[in-house]
Chains A and B, each alone.
Chain A
Amino acid sequence: RKEVEQDPGPFNVPEGATVAFNCTYSNSASQSFFWYRQDCRKEPKLLMSVYSSGNEDGRFTAQLNRASQYISLLIRDSKLSDSATYLCVVNYNNYGQNFVFGPGTRLSVLP
């Protein structure tokens, strides 16, 4: 089983739609979690950290379920500019050696 798994997509959604991505991880010792966004031919950029109690940043909501070992990202009221690949990142806190990126989920928001 891969360390971090994501549905590669693509998810094609109309503007204004709500879309959710899930990410599962295999190492129960994982300590910190993040969602990154990567635009085509660009570097990954931090979208948000994921906290145990769940957190929200504008139209974006992240949730963590430690018991089932998954994290989720919900995007409400999708914009064209949300089109990108969303990378789930899991860190089990071993001097950065285990900052593991998922393969990414590609999102296309259509007009």
Chain B
Amino acid sequence: DTAVSQTPKYLVTQMGNDKSIKCEQNLGHDTMYWYKQDSKKFLKIMFSYNNKELIINETVPNRFSPKSPDKAHLNLHINSLELGDSAVYFCASSSRPDNEQFFGPGTRLTVL
């Protein structure tokens, strides 16, 4: 059983399009996250969502919007995609915000 899963694994799209990435965890965790890992391999947090409370990283453009239909899911919607959005996006979850995080396999987004 996959603890944290993401779909799709690869996403290739044109500039200006809108796309979504889905994430699901079956660990019963209360906290979920979205990270971006760019070409330089820096892993940076974008959002965390704890018990229905969304914490937004202010450096993230408002073209990015997370949506959590329930505790086990945290999706990421991206509007008006730009070249600089090309990266690997990882979803993660933890039992609480200060505990270790478990990552999904990542979604490799390429914007052409």
Contacts and interface: CB of A to CB of B under 8 A. Distances in A.
* Chains A and B belong together in one complex: yes
Given A43-B105, A96-B33, A96-B50, A101 B100 contact: no
A42 interface: yes
Contact of B43 (A44, A49, A91, A95): A44
A100 B43 CA distance: 8
Q: How big is chain B's contact interface, by range? A: 20 to 34
A42 B45 CA distance: 17
Interface string B89-109: 010001001111111111000
A97 to B, nearest CB: 5
Contacts of A32: 98-99
Interface string A64-102: 000000000000000000000101000101111101110
A109 to B, nearest CB: 19
B42 A103 contact: yes
Contacts of A12: none
A87 B53 contact: no
A31 B100 contact: no
Contacts of B41: 85, 103-104
Main secondary structure of the interface of A (DSSP, over half): strand
Contacts of A31: 98
A100 B101 CA distance: 12
Contact of B97 (A42, A43, A49, A93): A93
A75 B105 CA distance: 25
A43 B104 contact: yes
B56 to A, nearest CB: 9
Interface in A54-71: none
A42 B100 contact: no
B97 A44 contact: no
B104 A93 contact: no
B57 interface: yes
Given A43-B90, A44-B103, A96-B33, A87 B98 contact: no
9 contacts: A34-B100, A42-B106, A44-B43, A96-B33, A96-B45, A99-B33, A99-B45, A101-B44, A104-B41
